[in-house]
Structure 1
Amino acid sequence: MATPAGETTRLSPAGFTHRLRADIERLRDEATRQRKLAHRRAEFWARTDIVLGFPAALLAATAGAAGLASADVRVPAALAALASAGFAAGAGFLHSDTRRRANKRARHAWASAEAKAMVALGQQHVTHQDLSDLLECRQAALAAYDNEEPQPGST
């Protein structure tokens, strides 16, 4: 129903509570999705770190041992050393360990937001302060991806 120009629509207390609950439910659902996504990303970056780091270490050790063993295997040893350097450079370029840690921090922050939303929804009466607290938790979770520690009291 449209209101005439200049009039504002006021919600009844029940309508206000219903809208607060709906917003908190949306934040809870977002937190659940983002927590699961951050978990999958953390696992991906952990696997990437292993896939690039282990062969680099193995090839470097093999190249060193082969290069010292005899003069006949110096060319293959040099090729193994080049491959090792490529894997190490790829791992360094992707910063997979940093990304894994950021996603683990984000996963914990999203889980905290999800839990606070569940607690708020379990209460008989929700207030705008509950929603405000959840929005702060959401901001902290978003900041976790940027390798930032949330500041107390910041939004």
Structure 2
Amino acid sequence: MATSADGTTRLSPDGSAHQLRAEIERLRDEATRQRTLAHRRAEFWTKTDIALGFPAALLAGTAGAAGLASADVRVPAALAALASAGFAAGAGFLRSDTRRRANKRARHAWASVEARATVALAREHVTHEDLGDLLECRQAALAAYDGEEPRPGAP
């Protein structure tokens, strides 16, 4: 920093570059944390989807076969059908498949932020445009949780 004759403090070019580099490092570290978190969330929702979907399918098939096999097993078959419906309703309510896809999209978007920050830091000089591009990329990564999957051929 430099202080001029009128008492105002101005950043020296080196100080400005240092601040830009520090901010890009902060964005890279945030992207690394968020990518890891999105990866863990995607794994969790994958397991949840399987934990609810597989028993639902298995119980539905068992209930159908048992209900058709004999009149004596209709009550257990009805209970198995109710359990199957409960698992299917839970899977639909939690939307674990949608959450899994959203976290995978976010993981890829955060990886992009991380990679761009790493490339920017590898350069000898960083610019305000580098930081601006990274902030736009960060916004896209934040929006990836809510957004739809991009259509083929869309930018």
| TM-score strictly above 0.5 | yes
Q: Map 1:75-94 to 2 at 5 A.
A: 75-94=75-94
User: Structure 2, unaligned stretches of length 5 or more?
Assistant: none
Change beyond 3 A, Cα 1:71–1:99: same
2:34 equivalent to 1:41: no
Could you tell me which residue of structure 2 aligns to residue 137 of structure 1?
137
Q: Which amino acid aligns with 2:74?
A: R
Could you tell me which residue of structure 1 aligns to residue 61 of structure 2?
61
Distance in 2 (CA, whole Å) between partners of 1:7 and 1:66 is 88
Could you tell me which residue of structure 1 aligns to residue 121 of structure 2?
121
Q: Deviations over 1:105-142 (max 9, x none)?
A: 00000000000000000000000000000000100000
2:21 equivalent to 1:9: no
Could you tell me which residue of structure 1 aligns to residue 72 of structure 2?
72
> What TM-score comes out, normalization by structure 2 length?
0.91
Q: Deviations over 1:55-102 (max 9, x none)?
A: 000000000000000000000000000000000000000000000000
Distance in 1 (CA, whole Å) between partners of 2:106 and 2:65 is 42
Distance in 2 (CA, whole Å) between partners of 1:22 and 1:75 is 67
Distance in 2 (CA, whole Å) between partners of 1:127 and 1:9 is 21
Runs (4+) of structure 1 exceeding 3 A deviation are 148-152
Distance in 2 (CA, whole Å) between partners of 1:130 and 1:19 is 13
> What TM-score comes out, normalization by structure 1 length?
0.91
The alignment-based identity, stated in percent, is 84
Contact 1:143/1:149 (<8 A) preserved = no
RMSD of aligned residue pairs (Cα, Å):
1.9
| TM-fit CA distance, 1:147 | 2.0
| TM-fit CA distance, 1:148 | 4.3
Q: Which amino acid aligns with 1:74?
A: R
Q: Deviations over 1:10-61 (max 9, x none)?
A: 1000000000000000000000000000000000000000000000000000
Distance in 1 (CA, whole Å) between partners of 2:7 and 2:103 is 47
Could you tell me which residue of structure 2 aligns to residue 29 of structure 1?
29
Distance in 2 (CA, whole Å) between partners of 1:61 and 1:36 is 38
User: Structure 1, unaligned stretches of length 5 or more?
Assistant: none
Change beyond 3 A, Cα 1:148–1:136: farther
Q: Which amino acid aligns with 1:37?
A: L
What is the number of residues matched between the two proteins? 149
